[in-house]
Amino acid sequence: MAVQQARAQHRHRRILDAAQRVFSRSAYRDASVDQIADEAGTSKGGVYFHFPNKEAIFLALLDRTAERLRKKIESATAAVEDPVAKADTALRTVLGTFAKHRALARLFMVEALGAGREFHQRTAEIRGQFAALIEQHLDVAIAQGLISEIDTTIASRAWFGAVNEVVTHWLLSDRPRPLEDSYDALRPLLMRSIGTAAGTDRRP
């Protein structure tokens, strides 16, 4: 039973890996389950054994991407004590990850929005979860007296929204500048928005 379960999990991952490659090459609407099956080296029935349709594959891929990104953020912020620096590090990690995986960023930021209402709603939920991580750190900063009282819900969504806009512009640009450079320009604006001096470097 354990061997069968391990094999099933392996096939599940292989299908998602194949789907990621297919969706990265083709727009969501142009991709097909047949293409995903061919890429995964399995039958169409083998794909349907794990996923009822293309939509389910894409949603699972979005969730997996979000989970991996969340783990990267948690790992990057674990050794950082200053809560403002934690929020800063979280956003920098998002940009750093997408900078290294442009196709994945396009899938997450662009393709999902054009795939339909269900995907738009799911990506909005995921972005809200990441904004909530920023909000938690800003709440701690207020509790510790590091920044003045602000509406951290609005501030966190503004922070993540600004990063989202920068990444989307980078993805759609024909000749994009390095994504990390964009955050260096954005960071002072974010710091000023919470009353922290732009020249204060809170990075670890």
Structure tokens at 48: 């349907």
Q: What is the CA radius of gyration of the chain?
A: 19
At residue 4, does pLDDT exceed 80? no
User: What pLDDT, on a 0 to 100 scale, did the predictor assign at position 137?
Assistant: 95
For residue 45, give both structure tokens.
């029935």
Q: How far apart are CA 132 and CA 30, in angstroms?
A: 34
Residue 185 to residue 146: CA distance in whole angstroms: 23
CB 100 within 8 A of CB 72: no
Cβ within 8 Å of residue 26, ≥6 positions away: 35
- Rounded Cα–Cα distance for residues 1 and 195 (Å): 57
CATH topology of domain 1-52: Arc Repressor Mutant, subunit A (1.10.10)
Q: 204 pLDDT band (50/70/90 cuts)?
A: very low
Measuring CA to CA, how many Å separate 3 from each of 49, 90, 115? Answer: 18, 38, 36
Helices (H), 26-82: 33-40, 44-50, 54-77
Q: Locate tokens 């990063």: which residue?
A: 163
Q: What is the pLDDT of residue 119?
A: 79
CATH H-level, domain 58-193: superfamily: Tetracycline Repressor, domain 2 (1.10.357.10)
Quick check: pTM over 0.85?
no
Highest mean pLDDT among 15-29, 30-44, 175-189: 30-44
Domains of the chain by residue range? 1-52, 58-193
The per-residue pLDDT for range 72-93, each reduced to its tens digit, is: 999 999 989 999 999 999 999 9
Q: Is the pLDDT of residue 136 over 50?
A: yes
